[in-house]
Amino acid sequence: MTNHKNDGSENIHTDFSSRMTYGEYLNLDELLSAQNRLSPHHDEMLFIIIHQVSELWMKLTLHELHAAIEAIRKDQMQAAFKMLARVSSIQKQIIQAWDVLSTLTPSEYMEFRDHLGQASGFQSYQYRMIEFALGYKTPHVLKIYEKDPELHHRLEEAYRAPSLYDAAIEKLSDSGFPISKKLLDRDYTQLYEKDSSVEAAWTNVYKDVEQYWDLYQLGEKLVDIEDSLQQWRFRHMKTVERIIGHKKGTGGSSGVGYLKKVLDHRFFPELWDVRTNI
């Protein structure tokens, strides 16, 4: 017979008649009842959960990115570095999710694909908000969300807000680098384009790491995030190709063709060019 007297279990709380439980704190009843299959096919559960988990990670990514932008603008660099490092760790989780989804074969997916209608990951508003927070502003996607005025308003606010890279460029200017005035006063809704004054500033940072240690760390944190995002995009593209080939996406996009095209975009171009300059 097992002796439980000294195994540490004697102090475990078992009476929760007037106390909050783990499940109540996490709203597990609501969370675990949100996987509503539209088909009887076994593998649709995998498809739903992978996307729901990814959306939860994206929620945390946005939480950290917005806080990091604010911290940089307040010159709280160590706090910003911690948040950006956390984003990079989150990205590893989201990238690995494609390995699980890729266990779904083309034949299995076709069993329930028609039930999705026009619903598509292309419509993920949190992913769009992450793109906006990183400076990739694409106005045409806002139309997708007009069905929900409150959500549309949130996206418009994110679309007009300064990005993480805008905050980094302001930091370069505050540190004494001669950043172009038109760039500092720019319309944040416009897609960022490479600027020679920013390139010169980052080149100087990377040539004198000891003097500009905080800016150097910031640059590397940004490169980490873009690198991981591009890995996520690549794994997305290859997983889609593996499951549906070159069919159109359920949302009407060209599928693999569209996903290959967005791989060409660079979020922080000068930070990649500095590798050649130094």
Q: How confident is the model at residue 162 (pLDDT cuts 50, 70, 90)?
A: very high
CB proximity list for 118: less than 8 A, separation 6 or greater: 250, 251, 252
**Digit-coded pLDDT (tens) for 16-27:** 677 899 999 999
Report pLDDT for 123: 87
**What is the per-residue pLDDT across 104-146, written as a single tens digit (0 to 9) for each?**
999 999 999 999 987 887 789 999 999 999 999 988 889 999 9
Contacts of 254 (CB under 8 A, 6+ apart): 248
Of all residues in the chain, what percent carry a pLDDT higher than 90? Answer: 80
pTM: 0.90
Residue 21 lies in a domain: no
Confirm whether 25 is domain-assigned.
no
Determine whether 269 is exposed, middle or buried from the number of CB atoms within 10 Å of its CB (0-12, 13-18, 19+).
middle
Is the pLDDT at 213 greater than 60, yes or no?
yes
Binding residues: 47-51, 109, 113, 236, 250
Asked whether residue 194 carries a pLDDT value surpassing 90, the answer given is yes
pLDDT of residue 156: 97
Q: Domain range holding 69?
A: 40-274
At 73, is the pLDDT very low, low, confident or very high (cuts 50, 70, 90)? very high
Q: Which residues neighbour 198 within 8 Å (Cβ) at sequence distance 6 or greater?
A: 169, 172, 179, 180, 183, 270
pLDDT at 12: 76
Whether 25 and 51 have beta carbons less than 8 Å apart is answered as: no
Q: Is residue 60 part of a domain?
A: yes
pLDDT of residue 58: 97
Q: In this predicted model, what pLDDT tens digit does every residue of 74-112 receive, in sequence order? A: 999 999 999 999 999 999 999 999 999 999 999 999 999
User: Nearest Cα to 216, choosing from 276, 140, 164, 274?
Assistant: 274
More confident residue, 7 or 233: 233
Domain membership of residue 85 (yes or no) is yes
Binding residues for heme: 236
In a domain, 78, yes or no: yes
Q: Reply yes or no on whether the pLDDT at 254 is more than 70.
A: no
The tokens for 36 are: 């509503």
In a domain, 22, yes or no: no
pLDDT computed for residue 34 by the predictor: 97
Nearest CA among 205, 206, 204, 180 for reference residue 193: 180
Among 3-12, 62-71, 141-150, 262-271, the range with the most confident prediction by mean pLDDT is 62-71
The answer, yes or no, to whether residue 264 has pLDDT greater than 90, is no
What total number of domains does the chain contain? 1
- Is position 229 within any domain? yes
CATH of the domain at 206: 1.20.58.480
Q: What is the pLDDT of residue 5?
A: 56
6 has a pLDDT exceeding 70:
no
Confidence of residue 203 (pLDDT cuts 50, 70, 90): very high
Q: What percent of the chain has pLDDT over 70?
A: 92
Binding site as annotated, residues for substrate = 47-51, 109, 113, 250
- Separation of alpha carbons 89 and 165, rounded Å: 19
Across the chain, mean pLDDT equals 92
Question: What span, in angstroms and rounded, lies between the C-alpha atoms of 221 and 205?
Answer: 14
Band of the pLDDT at 247, cuts 50, 70, 90? confident
Contacts for 67 with CB less than 8 Å, ≥ 6 apart: 79, 83
Does any domain span residue 195? yes
